[in-house]
Amino acid sequence: MEFTEKYHDEFKEFLSKLIAIPSVVSEAEGNMPFGADVNRALELVLDVAKKDGFEVKNVDNYGGHIDFSGENQDEIVAVVGHLDVVPCGDLENWKTNPFEMVEKDGKFYGRGVLDDKGPLLAAYYAVKALKDSGFKPNKTIRIMLGCDEETEWNGMTYYMEKEKPNVVSGFSPDADFPAIHAEKGCAQFLIEKKLSAHSSGGICVKSMKGGTVANAVADKAIAEFKYLGLKDGSLNFDDVYKKILASANSFVPSKGSNIENFDGVEDLIQVEKGKEENSILLTAHGVSAHGSRPSLGLNAISLLMDFLGQIEGEHLLCSQSCDIVDFYNDRLGYHFDGSKMGVGFSDEPSGKLSLNIGLVDWNEEKVSYTIDIRYPVTIDFQDVCDGLLEAVVPDEYRVLNLNHMKPLYKPVTDPLIETLMAAYKEFTGDLVCKPIVIGGGTYARAVPNTVAFGPVMPGREDICHQPNEYIHAEDLYMSIKIFARALYELSK
């Protein structure tokens, strides 16, 4: 497979052009359901493939494909990738322009080099190398181009319904090497309780807000509370403020927080006086992580609740705030495996369930949490819903399912997994690695008989969706070879 090397320059040039298109999904414009930029990316790839002699199809700008036709056109071996990217976030965090591919120290930098433009083009050059070598596949090799993978997946749904491709095997190059044989079930829920007016004295939480999305660990949370005085009149506002300030300065998160893994994280809780009379603002700073791996982050909402729980020990919190804080710390908080929420499931192929608290919204009318659960592959979704309900109903909370994706599971002995593993081993020489399980969701769930495969090599840092997105050039070049071998074996 040395024959893939002659494509490196061409590959780089093509990838640079594609990275230069800021294909973040935006409002529909005319017949472009995901905005003009995503459409430009789709057209560029289809144009290049057409010039290279492939049959291409644009499916109403919802998606498209590139075909390398086989003798048996009824059976398709698919590569499923996407052309849209996540937004760049704060540009100040980028050392280079995210929409200009930069090659430095053996790495490519730019939004999409890893997720998913780089691996998608690696697969394209794998197919091109096979075609140019004179190989005649038996089954048709198809590269399917998704356009809104980072948002709603409406494009892939439209494509699958309209085209009804008979995919017999394939992969989505949008996760890690080696082959991914299981993706946990994924569901988001709202857990909510209506509140009534209260004024039992002490500290009353007026509001709390934290987090940005359900599937990330919240890295910031802010609470405002008001001191209503104690019945015995023993403490005035300044006494309380000083007490809180001292507690914040000596705050040590409770057991289970994993704080020991976060050396050098300081100022967990900041305290200041609020604008209103007798009010105090608390700000907690944590460390974000992907929602499928909550134990790798330090959740700011949990820190704040933990801190309030510790104040509660001094009988300063009002009774309603007390109940809410207790519920949170006992059930959610640092209990990443859902065991305190009635969903402590685990199984042999995929390990424990994970539970992330992504958002909190607490005001005078209600308190709500948006949580993200990744459940083991052999567990029934209904059991997850029932478990949650049983756990929260006695405390008068309600549960709402916001969305759900079923798990994907193939035994490690499945022929597709074995073929992909063999291709990976052949070029990496890595004989130790075993097929893996992830909590993330890829297009493999949307296209039958496919699994996720590549591009992140074992041991590489996970920088998906982050600023300064990069991928090692050698990993991408290696991916071209691995994909070519896998597609050859699957389609011959």
Applying CB under 5 A, which of residues 115, 183, 219, 306 lies at the interface with Zn ion?
A: 115
Name which of residues 172 to 231 contact Zn ion (CB under 5 A).
174
Residue whose CB is less far from Zn ion, 67 or 84: 84
Q: How far is the CB of 267 from Zn ion (least distance, A)?
A: 31
Tokens of 239: 């006494």
Name which of residues 154 to 183 contact Zn ion (CB under 5 A).
174
Question: Residues 263-302: x/- map of binding to Zn ion (CB under 5 A)?
Answer: ----------------------------------------
Residue whose CB is less far from Zn ion, 428 or 466: 466
Applying CB under 5 A, which of residues 37, 116, 148, 176 lies at the interface with Zn ion?
A: 116
Q: How far is the CB of 174 from Zn ion (least distance, A)?
A: 4
The residue range among 37-45, 111-119, 266-274, 285-293 that interacts with Zn ion, by the rule CB under 5 A, is 111-119
- Counting residues that bind Zn ion (by CB under 5 A) gives 3
- Contact predicate 158/165, CB 8 Å: no
Residues shown for the chain: 492
| CA–centroid distance for 232 within its chain | 50
Residue whose CB is less far from Zn ion, 33 or 112: 112
Q: How far is the CB of 21 from Zn ion (least distance, A)?
A: 16
CB atoms within 10 A of CB 20: 17
Task: State the Cα–Cα distance between residues 171 and 81, nearest whole angstrom.
Answer: 9
Read off the DSSP letter of residue 445. G
Residue whose CB is less far from Zn ion, 37 or 115: 115
Residue whose CB is less far from Zn ion, 94 or 488: 94
Residue whose CB is less far from Zn ion, 438 or 478: 438
Q: How many Cα atoms are found within 13 Å in the side-chain-facing hemisphere of 97? A: 8
Q: How far is the CB of 338 from Zn ion (least distance, A)?
A: 24
Q: Does 469 bind Zn ion (CB under 5 A)?
A: no
Residue whose CB is less far from Zn ion, 148 or 219: 148
Sign of the four-CA dihedral 226, 232, 237, 241: negative
Q: How far is the CB of 199 from Zn ion (least distance, A)?
A: 47
Task: State the Cα–Cα distance between residues 371 and 192, nearest whole angstrom.
Answer: 11
Q: How far is the CB of 19 from Zn ion (least distance, A)?
A: 14
> What is the maximum alpha-carbon separation in the chain?
90
DSSP string, 205-229: EEEEEE-S-TTB---EEEEEEEE--
Q: Which residues pair with 287 in a beta bridge?
A: 298
**At a CB cut-off of 8 Å and minimum separation 6, what does 105 contact?**
none
- Contact predicate 280/222, CB 8 Å: no
Buried b (16+ CB within 10 A) or exposed e, 178-217: bbbbbbbbbbbbbbbbebeeeeebbbbbbebbbbeebbbb
Residue whose CB is less far from Zn ion, 32 or 83: 83
Helix (H) or strand (E) holding 72: strand 72-82
Residue whose CB is less far from Zn ion, 173 or 333: 173
Residue whose CB is less far from Zn ion, 37 or 116: 116
End-to-end, the C-alpha distance of the chain in Å comes to 16
Residue whose CB is less far from Zn ion, 191 or 456: 456
Q: How far is the CB of 440 from Zn ion (least distance, A)?
A: 8
Q: How far is the CB of 86 from Zn ion (least distance, A)?
A: 6
Helices marked H in 79-220: 117-132, 154-163
Q: How far is the CB of 175 from Zn ion (least distance, A)?
A: 8
- Contact predicate 77/490, CB 8 Å: yes
Task: State the Cα–Cα distance between residues 414 and 207, nearest whole angstrom.
Answer: 52
The residue range among 64-72, 113-121, 349-357, 363-371 that interacts with Zn ion, by the rule CB under 5 A, is 113-121
Name which of residues 11 to 50 contact Zn ion (CB under 5 A).
none
Q: How far is the CB of 18 from Zn ion (least distance, A)?
A: 14
Name which of residues 342 to 381 contact Zn ion (CB under 5 A).
none
Q: How far is the CB of 116 from Zn ion (least distance, A)?
A: 4
Tokens of 125: 């050059």
The residue range among 109-117, 124-132, 232-240, 248-256 that interacts with Zn ion, by the rule CB under 5 A, is 109-117
**At a CB cut-off of 8 Å and minimum separation 6, what does 275 contact?**
none
Query: Rounded to the nearest 10 degrees, what angle do helices 36-51 and 117-132 cross at?
Result: 10
| CA–centroid distance for 364 within its chain | 32
The residue range among 92-100, 115-123, 194-202, 388-396 that interacts with Zn ion, by the rule CB under 5 A, is 115-123
Q: How far is the CB of 172 from Zn ion (least distance, A)?
A: 8
Residue whose CB is less far from Zn ion, 26 or 69: 26
CB atoms within 10 A of CB 53: 10
The residue range among 108-116, 191-199, 275-283, 340-348 that interacts with Zn ion, by the rule CB under 5 A, is 108-116
Which residues of the shown chain bind Zn ion in the complex (CB under 5 A)?
A: 115-116, 174
